[in-house]
Amino acid sequence: MSRRAPIRVAATALCLLCALLVAGTCAVAALAQAHGSAKGGHATKRSHCAHQQRRNAKRAKRCRSRHAPVKPLTPAPLTPAALLSVPPAVAPPESLPSPVIASPTPATTPATTPTEAPSETPGEVEPPSVPHVQVSAVEYSFTLSRTSVPAGKVILQFVNDGQDEHNLQISEGEEGPLAGSFADTPSKGVGQLQLEMRSGSYTLFCSLHGHEAKGMKATLTVE
């Protein structure tokens, strides 16, 4: 065996030792790096979870505030001190003109002066009303609304209810003078006359040819 053999063995062993040291160091470094990566991943996940929890908490708070029931506002009772502290209402300035509201003008009606009723003297007797007598004529007769009236003023109304013309003559007695007369009146004609009649009998007749003879004659008694 040569002298260099131990040296070679020692060198080889040293090389192997160095190689083991380097391999161990690399393995340790790889493990540390792997552990650090895993640790960093866990930290990132924890941070993401915390951030998500904060976001969820904010959303829940907004939801509660949005859907929370609205409490009715209860007005505080007014105390005497609060009433005294209310400022008085400000009156509008006098310089501002007040609004004018146009209203329809009512129709002007003439004023009527009431007519005073005639005063009655105690014991004074009202004059009696003037009696009316209506004489209706047809072919060929006269019909009187009344056959007797008191003496004095009498209103005679002649109505021709026939189809032909007729007239009315009023005479005192059978052959006495005429007290009044109505001219020839057409069918449905009406006339009126006021007479002052004395007591007695008056004959009413139509003077047209043949009418009296046919029955157009009547008697009115004035009492």
Eight-class DSSP state of 173:
B
In this prediction, residues 27-54 reach a mean pLDDT of 65
CA distances in angstroms from 153 to 32, 150, 189, 209, listed in the order given? 157, 8, 24, 31
Report yes or no on 90 lying in a domain.
no
Instruction: Please give the structure tokens belonging to residue 81.
Output: 């001190």
pLDDT for res 104? 46
pTM: 0.43
- DSSP-assigned letters across all residues of 13-46: HHHHHHHHHHHHHHHHHHHHHHHHHHHHHHHHHH
Q: Is 41 contained in some domain?
A: yes
How many other CB atoms are found less than 10 A from the CB of residue 200? 14
Residue 158: pLDDT over 70: yes
Tens of pLDDT, residues 161-173? 999 999 999 999 8
What pLDDT score does 87 carry? 54
- Number of domains making up the chain: 2
Q: Note the pLDDT tens digit of each residue in 110-156.
A: 555 555 555 555 555 555 689 999 999 999 999 999 999 999 999 99
Residue ending a domain, among 22, 42, 66, is 66
What pLDDT shows up at residue 175? 82
Residue 99 within a domain: no
Predicted confidence at residue 183, as pLDDT, reads 95
Do 143 and 217 belong to one domain?
yes
Out of 28-42, 97-111, 167-181, pick the least confident.
Answer: 97-111
* Residue 136 maps to a domain: yes
Backbone angle region of 188, left / alpha / beta, with phi > 0 → left and psi within -120 to 50 → alpha: left
Report if residue 190 sits inside a domain.
yes
Residue at which a domain ends, from 66, 90, 108: 66
Domain that holds residue 208: 132-222
Could you tell me if residue 173 is inside a domain? yes
- The enclosing domain of 150 has a CATH number of 2.60.40.420
Residue 48 domain flag: yes
With respect to residue 26, please indicate whether it lies within any of the assigned structural domains.
yes
Which of the two residues, 103 and 8, has the higher pLDDT score?
A: 8
CA distance 31 to 157: 152
